[in-house]
Amino acid sequence: MQSFIITLTGASGCGKTYVMDKISEASIKLEKIGLVFKPKRIKKQTTRNYRIEEIIEIIDGKIDNIDVESVVKLDDDCDLVYQTYGKKYGLKLSVLENALKNNECPVVIINDVRVVEELKKKFPNRVLSLYIFREIPNYDKLKKLSSGRGAVSNEEVRGRFNKAVAMHRTYIENITLFDKVILNIKKIISKVVNLTIQEFKFLTLLKLLWKINMF
């Protein structure tokens, strides 16, 4: 199987990290049926501070579980740079290229459609872009999520909400850019008989990866 890049895009709290974890677990399942799939979590540089849950992972010695490296200034050799909520994110193409050369499948969270588009141009037919949708932006839920990730003011929450609305509109307007859409919606998933929400999500992802290997 030719290695490829997996991009995950979606609003805050939509389940990107969950899907990233399940992709890693899927590699073990696929190996048992004779399919070689080696996902590699790619870190981006960012000028934002580490979130509470990320700090906990670092303290617990699980720094590889987080997908960002907090820096004061992005390295000059970051090829792709974008901004979210006033903080910059940078990605080096060399990191992706090295992973592909080692027959690994880089998995990276990218919340900017322009960057996803650039990656597809740089690596034609070797990028699987996934958009994860959970719900339209909700102010109260975003406020709760933001509070759980660190102290933020009401003004900051309002700014993030307005940005989330704009980002949601951008994602929908560019939906054809994504190869697959994952609906992280409990009301839909819970209707699947004899399957828990977690099992349904995993089997859906496994089926997707199976198709990739078959093609």
- State pLDDT tens for residues 49-96: 998 888 998 999 888 888 899 999 999 999 999 998 789 999 999 999
Residues in CB range of 112: below 8 A, 6 or more apart: 82, 84, 89
pLDDT tens-digit series, residues 107-116: 999 999 999 9
pLDDT digits (tens, 9 = 90+) for 165-177: 888 888 889 999 9
Q: Structural domains in the chain? A: 5-42+103-214 (3.40.50.300)
**What is the Cα–Cα distance from 81 to 118, expressed in whole angstroms?**
11
**Average pLDDT in the 125-143 region?**
85
Residues 6+ apart with CB under 8 A from 172: none
